[in-house]
Amino acid sequence: MKGPDEMLARVQARVDRAVARAALVPGMDFSDVVRAVEHALGIRLRVVRETETSGWGTLTGFLTYFADRREGSIHVRASDAAVYSQFAAAHELGHLLDDAHCTGALRERSSASPYDDPALTTPEFEAELVAEHVAHRISRLLYASPRVAESSW
């Protein structure tokens, strides 16, 4: 394997480890997923639905994590549909489970694919892909069952 194939193999392996780390299984609801991540990492988490987001631009969510206190919070837009804000939060959970969450100054990010951000370094790009793929896996756990599909009719 060379280049993109090697990278995708690394990303897939990281996604598999992240999901296994939290023992995520079908039938969980979103609060179960958050609790599973807390348990897996030995931290306290809360998801905050922010009402004042006028300065967020295209930002859909962000993580604040305090390793010394073993706690963090994930901030999402209260105005977004629950499924959308849960996906944004699941992306941040992916960073935590991968041990590759963002550090330093808050950078504006949107729901755009990491493929569309040429400013990302290769490690940042891979971390974003892992988090995005973990979010997709979590979403499938939450919304892929017939019971959930029927409730939307």
pLDDT digits (tens, 9 = 90+) for 65-123: 898 999 999 999 999 999 999 999 999 999 999 986 554 334 444 445 556 666 677 78
Q: What does the alpha-carbon distance between residue 10 and residue 17 come to, in Å, rounded to a whole number? A: 11
Q: Which spans in 22-145 are helix H? A: 30-41, 82-98, 122-143
Residues 6 or more apart from 123 whose CB is under 8 A from it? 100
What's residue 145's pLDDT? 62
CB-based burial, 74-109: b 16+ in 10 Å, e otherwise: bbbbeebeeeebbbbbbbbbbbbbbebbbeeeeeeb
Q: Where are the domains of the chain?
A: 4-146
Is the pLDDT confidence value at 153 over 70? no
Is the pLDDT confidence value at 151 over 60? no
* Strand, coil or helix: 65: strand
What's residue 1's pLDDT? 46
What's residue 122's pLDDT? 77
Fold for the domain defined by 4-146: Arc Repressor Mutant, subunit A (1.10.10)
Count, residues in the chain:
153
* Strand, coil or helix: 8: helix
Q: What does the alpha-carbon distance between residue 118 and residue 146 come to, in Å, rounded to a whole number? A: 39
What's residue 110's pLDDT? 47
Share of the chain above pLDDT 70, in %: 80
Q: List, as one string, the DSSP characters of 69-89.
A: TTEEEEEEETTS-HHHHHHHH
Residue 3: band (very low, low, confident or very high) from pLDDT cuts 50, 70, 90: confident
